[in-house]
Amino acid sequence: MGTLPSSITWVLLLLAGLCCQVPGPLHASRQDSNLHQHVPLPSIATKLANFALSLYHELAHWSNNNIIFSPVNTGMAFAKLSLGTKGDTRTQILQDLDFNFKETPKATVHKGLQHFLHTLNLSDGQFQLASRTILFSDKNRKEVHTFLEAVMKPSHFSISLRDTEEATKQINQYIEKETQGKTVGLVQDLDKDTTLVLVNYIFFHGQVMMVGQSNHHLLRRTFQSL
């Protein structure tokens, strides 16, 4: 059997509508896992799996190409969004994620999600995986800062989004640095009325092993990342 080791870096990005969520290290130590080992996980994996299947069925109608997306990060972004919503909007988000806060306390659900994501981010000698959700907010909207600081903590940055040229430069420079230069010019044509920018990325660096195939049998196809 032959193997084809290829150093590949995939960056999967979800730029959520420019209504839109940024820093931290790309590495997580396995020793840190002990800090979260007692956090309860209320069927997080099962609910995210169901969410992934539902989301995939919707996305599959958009294109005939291959689709790469992260149901975990998408679910995490919506879960964080639910913390600041009320009424029908909050109800719809929770129904789509299948999280019932009447049965499980809100704090328990979000701790479980954080633990789940922390576990995924643990790297070893075989690969490097990092995931992050980042929020840029307009510094002129002070009324939302208290909520954002509480929810996003080190992943929240206050910048002047009214200066669209400078804001675009700051966001793109930060994302390029976070993804080790693999993502350049992510944000384009930022609207002057934008108050929040939510950015979500997954960074994976590892080796692809293909059994029984050589270099000239490797097929290249377009992937549509969401």
Domains of the chain: 6-225 (3.30.497.10)
Token output for 129: 């995986």
Q: Which of 174-178, 210-214, 222-226 has the highest mean pLDDT?
A: 174-178
Provide the whole-model pTM. Answer: 0.59
Question: Does residue 166 register a pLDDT over 50?
Answer: yes
Question: Does residue 32 register a pLDDT over 80?
Answer: no
Least confident residue range of 96-105, 127-136, 194-203, 207-216: 207-216
* Whole-number Å distance between alpha carbons of 108 and 83: 13
What per-residue string of b and e applies to 171-191 under the rule 16 or more CB within 10 Å gives b?
bbebbeebbeeebeebbeebe
Across 211-219, average pLDDT = 55
The H or E element spanning position 115 is helix 106-120
Q: Give whole-number Cα distances, 73 to 133, 139, 158, in Å.
A: 8, 26, 22
* Whole-number Å distance between alpha carbons of 223 and 225: 6
